[in-house]
Amino acid sequence: MLSKIIPELGHFALILALLMALVQAVVPMAGTLTRRPLWMAFAKPLASGQFLFLAIAYLCLTTSFLLDDFSVAYVANNSNSMLPWYYKTTAVWGSHEGSVLLWSLMLGGWGFAVSQCSSQLPRDMVARVLSVMGMVCVGFLLFVLITSNPFERLLPNMPQDGADLNPLLQDFGLVIHPPMLYMGYVGFSVVFAFAIAGLIGGRLDAAWTRWARPWTNLAWAFLTVGIALGSWWAYYELGWGGWWFWDPVENASLLPWLAGTALIHSLAVTEKRGSFKSWTLLLAITTFSLSLLGTFLVRSGVLTSVHAFANDPARGTFILVLLGLTVGLSLLVFALRAPRVSHSIGFTWLSRDALLLVNNILLVIMTVTVLLGTVYPLLLDALGLGKISVGPPYFNALFVPLTGLLCVFMGLGPSSRWKQMSGRELFKRLLGAGIASVVIAAVAPLVYGGQWNLWVSLGLVMALWIVLSLGRDLFDKVRNASSLGIGLRRLSPAYWGMVVGHLGLAVTIVGVTMVSNYNIERNVRLAPGESVEVAGYTFAMQGLRERRGPNFIADTATIDVSRNGEHRFTMQPEKRLYLARGMPMTDVALRPGLLRDLYVALGEDLGDGSWALRIQFKPFVRWLWLGALLMAAGGMLAVVDKRYRRVKRRAQQPVTSDTSGFKEAQA
Amino acid sequence: MKRRLFLLIPLVLFVVLAVFLYRGLALDPSARDSSLLGQSFPSFTLSTLEDPERQVDESLLEGEVTLVNVWGEWCPTCKQEMPQLLALEKRGIRLVGVDYKDTREKGHEFLEKFGNPFEINVFDPEGTLGFDLGVYGAPETFLVDAEGIIRYHHTGYITPEDIEQTIMPEVEKWRAD
């Protein structure tokens, strides 16, 4: 009965991974301090071994799910024999224990990736980076093994069947949302490790930023996709048609994203101009710290949220200690070792340097705004000043204007030069874009909605300003080339990454603006044979029938949708009852489109043969997520830039030893 | 030296935050003191959401076991809770809403969107009644017996499981009394 010991094998593999992480945390770092190449060389094989054993542990848990091994408590609580096999594999991260295991696996995976792509990095740098990542991994694996062991058994009295996976999570969006999000969170551990390694080794030159940048972009791109997927999932799964709620858990993912966005931009300045060094390091530490803080907020139960995990005080305390040690120690290292005198490389107040500084300040203000709003109820409660809740009014009132301001500078940034820029020239370059965006934005609501709307115009002006000023910059760059093709090809992937990323934000802003202002929502009661008109579409209820799914029973309504008397398509919203938990769920019928979504949710049976229905017309809602995908694509595109590989080749030459690097940082 | 001190600022800020987080661990946001249990419902005089002219007070709650639900349009969790409240209404339970820190317009919008299980809604834009009830977020639900005495307090949203496991048994218990 080999299958019976699979959970034990998984548990054992997890312990081995912890031991490897422990050695990886200590030996290579000690090697750099005592200059023993052999000790430093431990880093890479250990990173591979640690990843291997984490993968084995993860596969063991997946196998237990697939084999319906309900003697494993975690499987019994989150699966059921009726659950389709694909949800059994994703139920692994459906709750707390498994999701921290996935977190750890990804941490191991990033460490493995660094070790594989580091053949060109100086040996001591690799040793330090992997050692720091090993330390983080030790913390997380201790957390898993001590407080959240997914391999805990229910023996000898194992349940006959499992309690089933939460129906909210039985869905495609949830299959990919958490892994993407965790890839982002955990991915920031790489730049964090680079920052700590740089601080300890005193090596913070241009090469350092070039090593750190691709990893940062990659993690940021994953996080962007993860957040977008979460928003998309909430939109269609929760049945209210909302896409962002300023819920603590959402904020927890937005915080590292905002800090990470600032980091990407400040890394650009540090690489190109050698300035903002301490600031970049602080941002690198902050970004990863905020990822950890998010984990703490979500899993400790200190804040109430729609999707908080089951809480356990022991876990909260453990994560707080972990958070305190990681962040506290790294900030201490920062305070002690940050470059003492930053190279004061001059720039005037109108230059790309200055504009990127403004960008960073704004993004940090936005981060602090969201952080304060998220923890404010907690702070007041702790001070005994009463209990309040901070809702969307606070966030929207601060976040929207700040975003507007950010967009103004986003238009100026790409068109300006490093170091200094003549105001007149910048004005001349962008005047056309400015006028065009104001005019188009002013007219657009008249054309689209039939009447003028200030908010729509303001939103569109921001988006158009970003797009048109980018277009102008592209035009200036290409115009001197002998042909358009050559001109476009000469632009680097990093430049294209910036263009696509900024374009993505503009697309998202259009989506937010349009869906917030032109959303139409009707709550109606319909009996078979009746119909209702919403936004020019006629929704006719044809009838209802009962349908049996793999682990649920559903009432399915059939609704014919026509426009101008012409039948277009049929929509089938459902009300499902999940059998194992007896939990009712709304399964929304969606008709997505680039310019609008039709959204029908089936409500209550009103008794007399009619049903409550919520019908929504959501213009441009897809643009929200499309924009996010573009942003992520921009981040990825910048990673493939040749200069990151060129640098690696150059780094093969004898590298600066510890002391010279240290001097450089102190100079 | 001055610059080193300057670089310590992030660490100091973090330590302050960590202390608060530690305090937060001891405070469970969803299980709070039930000092109101066994007490009369706090007295209030407020207008109703339905009719700005009509003033109501705590006598509204006398005569029948009532669930008082504190909600607001701004509260996403309240939207999730509405199906359960509608189900409770269908089972013959009297529900009174307190529209907490909201505007009339938004309040009406909410009830139109998500259904109205409430017999009547007390409009509490300043949160004065909410303050007396010790409410610090929404949704929160109080079970008030026929004499107007608070008998049970539920923080956070009522799940479908809660209906069977806690709300219905509590209602039955105090109805029988």
Say if residues A280 and A263 touch (Cβ distance below 8 Å): yes
Place of tokens 């263009």: A499
Calpha distance A285→A279 (Å, rounded): 10
Residue B96 has pLDDT above 50, yes or no: yes
Is-cis flag, bond preceding B139, omega within 30?
yes
A301–B76: do the CB atoms touch at under 8 Å?
A: no
Burial of A454 (0-12, 13-18, 19+ CB in 10 A): exposed
If one compares B141 and A316, the residue with the highest pLDDT of the two is B141
Top residue of A300, A337, A388 to mutate, by most chain B CBs within 10 Å, is A388
Query: Distance, in angstroms, between A317 CA and closest chain B CA?
Result: 7
Q: How many CA atoms lie within 13 A of A264 on its CB side?
A: 27
Cβ–Cβ below 8 Å for A327 and B14? yes
Instruction: List CB contacts (< 8 A) between B112 and chain A.
Output: 523
Q: Mean of the pLDDT values across residues B54-64?
A: 88
The helix/strand/coil state of A163 is: coil
Tell me the pLDDT tens digit for each residue of A573-588.
Answer: 998 888 777 677 888 8
Percent of chain B with pLDDT over 70: 90
pLDDT at residue A231 in the model? 92
Report the C-alpha gap between A15 and A11 in whole angstroms.
6
List the single range of A347-361, A498-512, B130-144 with lowest mean pLDDT: B130-144
- Percentage above 70 pLDDT, chain A: 92
DSSP string over A76-102: HHH--TTS-HHHHHHGGGSSHHHHHHH
Percent of chain A with pLDDT over 90: 49
Hey, are the CB atoms on B18 and A328 less than 8 Å from each other? yes
Tokens of A18: 């912890």
CB contact A238 to B (< 8 Å): yes
R_g over Cα of chain A: 27
Q: Out of B27, B28, B74, name the one closest to residue A391 (CB).
A: B74
Q: Which residue has the tokens 């551990």?
A: A189
End-to-end CA distance of chain B: 73
- pLDDT at position A648 is 45
Task: Please check whether residue A320 touches B, CB under 8 A.
Answer: yes
Secondary structure of A248-270 in HEC code, one letter for each residue: HHHHHHHHHHHHHHHHHHHHHHH
pLDDT at A655 over 50: no
Select the residue of A285, A324, A523 nearest B113 (Cβ to Cβ). A523
Q: For residue A559, is it left (φ>0), alpha (ψ between -120 and 50) or beta?
A: beta
Domain ranges of chain A: 1-170, 520-622
**Residue appearing with tokens 């998010």:** A294
Per-residue model confidence (pLDDT) at position A8 = 94
B23 interaction partners in chain A (CB closer than 8 Å): 382
Query: Is the Cβ–Cβ distance between B167 and B58 less than 8 Å?
Result: no
User: How distant is the Cα of A313 from the closest Cα of chain B, in angstroms?
Assistant: 7
Using CA atoms, how far apart are residues B57 and A122, in angstroms rounded to an integer? 75
Give the strand pairing for B150-155 and B140-144. Answer: antiparallel
Which residues of chain A lie closer than 8 angstroms to B79, CB-CB? 240
**What per-residue confidence (pLDDT) applies to A646?**
53
Least CB-CB distance to B86: which of A320, A382, A604? A604
Chain B residues near residue A238 by CB distance under 8 angstroms:
80
Q: Test A391 with B75 for CB contact under 8 angstroms.
A: yes
Write down the pLDDT at residue A304: 54
Q: Which amino acid is at A40?
A: M
Interface of A with B in 52-81 (CB under 8 A): none
Sign of the dihedral defined by the CA atoms of residues A626, A631, A632, A633, in that order: positive
Q: Which residues in chain A (270-309) have CB-CB distances under 8 A to chain B? A: 278, 282, 285-286, 289, 296, 300-304, 306
How far is B110 from chain A, CA to nearest CA, in Å? 11
* Chain position carrying tokens 């996935």: A102
Q: B113 and A327: CB-CB below 8 Å?
A: no
Question: Is A389 in Cβ contact with B75 (below 8 Å)?
Answer: yes
- Would you state the pLDDT for residue A385? 62
Nearest CA in chain B to A389: B137
CA-based R_g, chain B, Å = 20
Give the whole-angstrom CA distance, residue A220 versus residue A632: 7
Residue A155, min C-alpha distance to chain B (Å): 27
Are A600 and A214 within 8 A, CB to CB? no
Euclidean distance between CA atoms A622 and A235, whole angstroms: 11
Residue range A469-485: mean pLDDT, rounded: 85
Distance from the Cα of A452 to chain B's closest Cα (Å) equals 23
From the list A271, A164, A275, the residue with the least C-alpha distance to A581 is: A164
pLDDT tens, A69-112? 999 999 988 888 888 999 999 999 888 889 899 999 999 999 99
Tens digits of residue pLDDT in A348-377: 778 888 899 999 999 999 999 999 888 887
Mean pLDDT on A473-497: 84
* All domains in chain B, ordered by first residue: 31-176 (3.40.30.10)
CA B114 to chain centre: 17
- Does any CB of chain B come closer than 8 Å to the CB of residue A543? no
Write out the DSSP string of A602-627: EEEE-SSS-EEEEEEEEETHHHHHHH
Q: Which of A250-259, A461-470, B39-48 has the lowest mean pLDDT?
A: B39-48
pLDDT of residue B118 exceeding 60 = yes
Burial zone of A667 (CB within 10 Å; 0-12 exposed, 13-18 middle, 19+ buried): exposed
Q: What mean pLDDT is predicted for residues A442-463?
A: 90
Contact B112 A523 (CB under 8 A): yes
Answer yes or no: is pLDDT of B154 > 90.
no
Torsion angle of alpha carbons A148, A151, A157, A158, nearest 10°?
Answer: 110
CB A256 within 8 A of CB A184: yes
User: Which residues of A fall within a CB distance of 8 Å from B135?
Assistant: 387
Interchain pair A338, B15: CB under 8 A = no
Provide the token pair at B156. 């956070």
At A611, phi and psi to the nearest 5? -125, 150
Q: Which residue of B has its CA nearest to A391?
A: B74
Name every chain A residue with its beta carbon within 8 A of the beta carbon of B137.
304, 377, 387-389
Strand, helix or coil at B63? coil
Nearest to A334 among B7, B112, B134 (CB): B7
Q: Assess whether the previous peptide bond of B52 is cis (omega < 30° from 0).
A: no
Q: What is the mean pLDDT of residues B133-160?
A: 81
* CB spacing of B14 vs A334 below 8 angstroms: no
Which residues, listed in sequence order, are joined to residue A567 by a DSSP beta bridge?
A: A562
Residue A326 confidence class, pLDDT cut points 50, 70, 90? very high
| Confidence grade of residue A468 (pLDDT, cut at 50, 70, 90) | very high
pLDDT of A386: 55
Does A582 touch chain B if contact means CB atoms closer than 8 Å? yes
* Segment 600-619 of chain A within 8 Å of chain B by CB: 603-604, 612, 614
Confidence of residue A170 (pLDDT cuts 50, 70, 90): confident
CA A542 to chain CA centroid, nearest Å:
41
pLDDT tens readout for residues A269-306: 888 888 888 899 999 999 999 999 888 777 766 665 54
Q: Which residues contact B95 (CB under 8 A, 6 or more apart)?
A: B66, B67, B68, B69, B85, B88, B89, B117, B118, B119
CA angle A539, A543, A547 (to 5 degrees): 120
* Amino acid in position A201: G
Structure tokens at A166: 């939460």
User: At A19, which amino acid appears?
Assistant: L
What are the CA-CA distances from residue B57 to residues A435, B97, B99, B119, B121 (Å)? 58, 13, 15, 15, 12
Residues paired with residue A557 on neighbouring β-strands, in sequence order = A544
3-class SS of residue A519: coil
Q: Looking at chain B, which residue has its C-alpha nearest residue A577?
A: B160
Number of residue pairs across A and B with CB atoms under 8 Å?
A: 116
Tell the residue number behind the tokens 């700590």, with chain if given: A196
Asked if A381 and B27 come within 8 Å (Cβ–Cβ), the reply is yes
Write the residue in A381, A393, A614 that is nearest to B74 by C-beta: A393
DSSP for A129-174, please give it.
Answer: HHHHHHHHHHHHHHHHHHH--TT-B--SS--SS-----GGG-SHHH
Whether the CB of A313 is below 8 Å from some CB of chain B: the reply is yes
Contact A319, A140 (CB under 8 A): no
What average pLDDT is seen over chain A?
86
- pLDDT exceeding 90 applies to what percent of chain B? 16
User: What are A647's two structure tokens?
Assistant: 């640098």
**Is the confidence at residue A662, as pLDDT, over 50?**
no
What does each C-alpha distance from A334 to A77, A319, A383, B10 come to in angstroms?
Answer: 43, 22, 30, 9
pTM of the model: 0.81
Asked whether residue A216 carries a pLDDT value surpassing 90, the answer given is yes
